[in-house]
Amino acid sequence: MQPRTQHRADRAESSSRENELSSTVRKVMKQYFKDLDGEKTIDVYAMVLACVEKPMLEVVMNHAQGNQTRAAELLGINRNTLRKKLQEHGIE
């Protein structure tokens, strides 16, 4: 595959994964509110971020073979921000 064609294939694959991830989040969130059965809740945003952020960081760090600079690039965040988030989640 030529580099330009490969880039298109990567974008298509990424798009389908994004849709799958969005679909999964949507499904789980709907079930979460259904399970509340009318009970009030607060801080849903923080709850979802806490549930998603740690496994995302773990997977990206594994993919980057522990290289924080590479992981930060993959995530599109500053390396110091990554280090802070890794510490917050107890990830070494």
Question: 38 vs 6, which has greater pLDDT?
Answer: 38
Number of domains in the chain: 2
In this predicted structure, what is the pLDDT of residue 4?
53
Residues 34 and 51 in one domain: no
Identify each DSSP E strand in the chain by its residue range: none
Residues 15 and 49 in one domain: no
Residues 57 and 90 in one domain: yes
Which CATH number characterizes residue 62's domain? 1.10.10.60
Cα 31–chain centre separation: 20
Q: Which two tokens stand for residue 54?
A: 């740690």
In this predicted structure, what is the pLDDT of residue 9?
60
How does 46-60 read in b/e, with b if 16+ C-beta sit within 10 Å?
eeeeeeeebeebeeb
Model confidence pLDDT, tens digit, residues 39-82: 999 999 999 998 999 999 999 999 999 999 999 999 999 999 99
In this predicted structure, what is the pLDDT of residue 8?
59
Distance in angstroms (rounded) separating the CA atoms of residues 59 and 81:
17
Range of the domain at 7: 1-39
In this predicted structure, what is the pLDDT of residue 30?
94
- pTM here? 0.71
Q: Which two tokens stand for residue 52?
A: 């998603």
Model confidence pLDDT, tens digit, residues 7-51: 556 656 666 666 898 999 999 999 999 999 889 999 999 999 989
